[in-house]
Amino acid sequence: MDCLQTRQLVYRYGQDTVLDGIDLRVPEGSIYGFLGPNGAGKTTTLRLILGLLARQQGEITLFGERLERNRIGILRRIGSMIESPSFYEHLTARENLRLLQTIHRCPPQRIDEVLALAGLADTGRKRTSQFSLGMKQRLGIAIALLHDPALLILDEPTNGLDPNGIVEIRELLKRINRERGITLLVSSHLLGEIEKLVTHVGVLHRGRLQFQGTIEALKQQQQTMRAVMLRTGDRDATLRVLAAAGVTADAQDDGIAIPPLPRERVAAINRALVAAGVEVYEIGLERNDLESIFMDLVEAA
Ligand code: ATP
């Protein structure tokens, strides 16, 4: 069953259509990576799901119920951290949690549980103003977990962290998912930061979901969609050599595309071209659309 579903979610800031028909499906128990370059609309989507922005068009269903039908009941089952976590900097982690525990009226023992879970049990009298960025993020997650939610929504939780901090958050989130069975929806603009964490991915680009599925399916699609691109000094001779080798070729403006082939066959084609006196400038993998989006996500670091 899906923990979260959106159907044809559309959102506009004035004339600007930021989300243009988003169908998110976050399976129960998954760790869903919500990827997109800066400005793609990730925060807007998460805010809509949390009811922090008024829905304009489309449907949002959580735990099998439409958000507007049972807003309070649904939101009680969600923990979130959108942008930077906020808490009282002059208080300790425990004092911050105690305050919120009183407000949320959750059992007092939850404080120790979430402190231990977030690896903050030893922070003692240290005020949160003295926390590292990674510790602050982990406290933000501990706060989001205090009322024992079934779904945790985190907006760029590793943003600005050093590699060590990123690993700590990743391990924490995996533990939360594995040990508590909590579904996670985690946004990021960097694939590299979350690909080791997530089970499912949604790639948002230009207001649309360009891909959605398991991380394995994404990798497979990347591979199978890529073509091999040949750039040589003689287009006609190249096409003749390819035809003789029984390879379908597609002559394009910037080179000749052939289907993905085993490396040995590509090497054989290279040898045949050289033997035919054709100058070979480049043999490389062509980027498909998804690949380009991805490279943007990976290279945006
Ligand atoms: P980032 O990783 O940079 O936060 P994002 O994917 O979370 O990016 P959003 O913050 O949802 O993207 O923003 C999507 C688009 O909507 C951007 O072009 C942004 O400039 C625009 N936008 C966001 N908030 C507002 C607002 N209050 N008024 C007008 N435009 C906005």
Q: What is the mean pLDDT of residues 76-94?
A: 91
**Residue 14 CA, closest ligand 1 atom number:** 29
Please name which of 93, 113, 80 lies closest in space to residue 180, comparing C-alpha atoms.
Answer: 113
Q: Which residue has the tokens 């080791």?
A: 196
CB 82 within 8 A of CB 186: no
Structure tokens at 14: 């004035």
Higher-confidence residue: 216 or 31?
Answer: 31
Q: What is residue 223's predicted lDDT score, i.e. its pLDDT?
A: 67
Q: How confident is the model at residue 193 (pLDDT cuts 50, 70, 90)?
A: confident
Residue 95 has pLDDT above 70, yes or no: yes
The total of other beta-carbon atoms located within 10 Å of residue 102's CB is 10
What pLDDT does residue 291 have?
Answer: 63
pLDDT at position 104 is 84
- 13 ligand 1 Cβ < 6 A: yes
What is the pLDDT, as a whole number, of residue 9?
97
pLDDT confidence bin for 50, thresholds 50/70/90: very high
Please report, for the chain, how many H helices and E strands are present, in that order: 11, 15
Question: Ligand 1 pocket check: which of 42, 50, 56, 154 to mutate, most ligand atoms within 8 Å of Cβ?
Answer: 42
CB 191 within 8 A of CB 297: yes
Alpha carbon of 266 to ligand 1 centroid (Å) = 44
Could you read off the pLDDT of 147-180 as tens digits, one per residue? 999 999 999 998 888 888 899 999 999 999 999 9
Q: Which atom of ligand 1 is nearest to the CA of 83?
A: 4
In the predicted model, what is the mean pLDDT of residues 239-266? 91
Q: What is the mean pLDDT of the chain?
A: 90
Residue 300, pLDDT > 60, answer no
Residue indicated by tokens 């735990």: 63
How sure is the predictor about 301, in pLDDT bands with cuts at 50, 70 and 90? very low
pTM: 0.82
- The Cα–Cα gap between 283 and 295 comes to 19
pLDDT, tens digit, 9 for 90 and up, residues 222-231: 666 678 899 9
Is ligand 1 within 6 A of the CB of residue 39? yes
Q: Is the CB of 18 under 6 A from ligand 1?
A: yes
